[in-house]
């Protein structure tokens, strides 16, 4: 069985074809980073229009790269949420229309479930149960995963997500958009320990996150210190975010007794975070799993894979097109139930 996956939740148009026997057959991605750079962030209307321009050529490209025709596609999966409503509608309408025209089933996929399952695309996928740390520009969550569709939210950010805090702090430093990766690169030049930043919400019980105050602390530090201190400030900021994520992961292991970790989302590509979590899991004798770097950010492969799991269980959508800009993971059902 072969599934065409369509991802358009924000500023990247991702298309992929997944085969349940052969794995990933093709994958293509178009990023709108240059389009939004002049504005310092994603402009929803521009994002939607660019998806409209790119989606059909990319679908044709993915089908051709896989050496297939439309007749070889058994289903169309598309991101239905969470995300920007206009961007979601482009992918959902295109996916539903193609499925109808081709006489194939259409599958609405939760974007975060796609991220959560992305490590399943690797040669050594994690087995259930595991704890998932989902860290991106829009989400920071800890989820207990007992199986596909069996998700228990353990904790989440009550304000800024980790990736959002990275980007906003980078902007305060005058770095280009998207600033998160540039801040991490600058942090590599900084000296650890010169500045001490708080580890938010780590002095109280629970697994929720809060990074808005940390961003404000960084803003005040940047304003008070000279330009040449920026690398050290970046180092202190990144250390604080990574330490906070690691502390909360350890608490999740202790709370659940699970010793297997999946890390996904754009921030999962952060090298400092990977190093620290590897040390945490090594001390615990546990395992940590990541998607490959190109699948840390939004992509069509994770949507095709997630859609495949639900189609195999008999799920498919009707002719109506529905998107859900806010769609919590714990509202999902077990496929086939």
Q: Indicate whether 155 and 250 sit together in one domain.
A: yes
Q: Is 177 a member of any domain?
A: yes
- Can you give the pTM of this predicted structure? 0.95
180 is in an annotated binding site: yes
Domain count, the chain: 2
Was 137 annotated as part of a binding site?
A: yes
Indicate whether 139 and 96 sit together in one domain: no
pLDDT single digits (tens) 107-132: 999 999 999 999 999 999 999 999 99
- Residue 302 shares a structural domain with residue 276: no
The H or E element containing residue 96 is helix 85-102
Q: Binding residue per annotation — 36?
A: no
Residue 91 marked ligand-binding: no
Residue 101: domain span: 2-117+295-331
Annotation-wise, does 298 bind a ligand? yes
Q: Is 157 annotated as a binding residue?
A: no
Interval 253-265: pLDDT, tens: 999 999 999 999 9
Same structural domain, 285 and 300: no
Per-residue pLDDT tens digits for 133-191 = 999 988 999 999 999 999 999 999 999 999 999 999 999 999 999 999 999 999 999 99
303 with 162, same domain: the answer is no
CATH of the domain at 82: 3.30.420.40
Tokens of 53: 């321009």
Summarize pLDDT for 264-300 with one digit per residue, the tens.
999 999 999 999 999 999 999 999 999 999 999 999 9
How far apart CA 186 and CA 66 sit, in angstroms, is 39
Residues 219 and 282 in one domain: yes
pLDDT at 265: 95
* Nearest by Cα to 255 from 131, 128, 126, 116: 131
Report whether 262 contacts 133 (CB < 8 A). yes
Together in a domain, 143 and 72: no
Whether 67 has a binding-site annotation, put simply, is: no
Confirm whether residue 138 is marked as ligand binding: yes
């Amino acid at each position: 069985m072969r599934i065409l996956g369509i991802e358009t939740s924000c500023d990247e148009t991702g298309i992929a074809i997944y085969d349940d026997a052969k794995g990933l057959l093709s994958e293509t991605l178009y990023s709108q980073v240059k389009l939004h750079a002049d504005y310092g962030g994603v402009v929803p209307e521009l994002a939607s229009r660019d998806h409209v321009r790119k989606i059909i050529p990319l679908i044709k490209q993915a089908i051709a790269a896989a050496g297939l025709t439309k007749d070889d596609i058994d289903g169309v999966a598309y991101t239905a949420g969470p995300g920007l409503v206009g961007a979601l509608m482009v992918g959902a309408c295109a996916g539903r229309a193609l499925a109808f025209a081709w006489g194939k089933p259409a599958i609405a996929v939760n974007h975060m479930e796609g991220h959560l399952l992305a490590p399943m695309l690797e040669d050594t996928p994690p087995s259930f149960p595991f704890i998932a740390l989902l860290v991106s520009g829009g989400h920071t969550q800890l989820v207990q995963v007992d199986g596909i569709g069996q998700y228990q939210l353990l904790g989440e950010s009550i304000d800024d997500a980790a990736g959002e805090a990275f980007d906003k702090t980078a902007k305060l430093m005058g770095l280009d958009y998207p600033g998160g990766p540039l801040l991490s690169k600058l942090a590599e030049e900084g000296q650890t320990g010169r500045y001490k930043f708080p580890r938010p919400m780590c002095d109280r019980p629970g697994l929720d996150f809060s990074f808005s105050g940390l961003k404000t602390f960084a803003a005040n530090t940047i304003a008070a210190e000279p330009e040449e201190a920026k690398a050290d400030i970046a180092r202190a900021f990144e250390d604080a975010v990574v330490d906070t994520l690691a502390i909360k992961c350890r608490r999740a292991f202790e709370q659940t007794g699970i010793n297997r970790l999946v890390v996904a989302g754009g921030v999962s590509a952060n090298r400092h975070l990977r190093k620290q979590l590897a040390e945490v899991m090594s001390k615990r004798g546990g395992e940590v799993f990541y998607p490959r770097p190109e699948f840390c950010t939004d992509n069509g492969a994770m949507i095709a894979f997630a859609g495949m799991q639900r189609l195999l269980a008999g799920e498919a959508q009707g002719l109506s097109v529905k998107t859900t800009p806010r769609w919590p993971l714990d509202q999902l059902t077990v496929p086939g139930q």
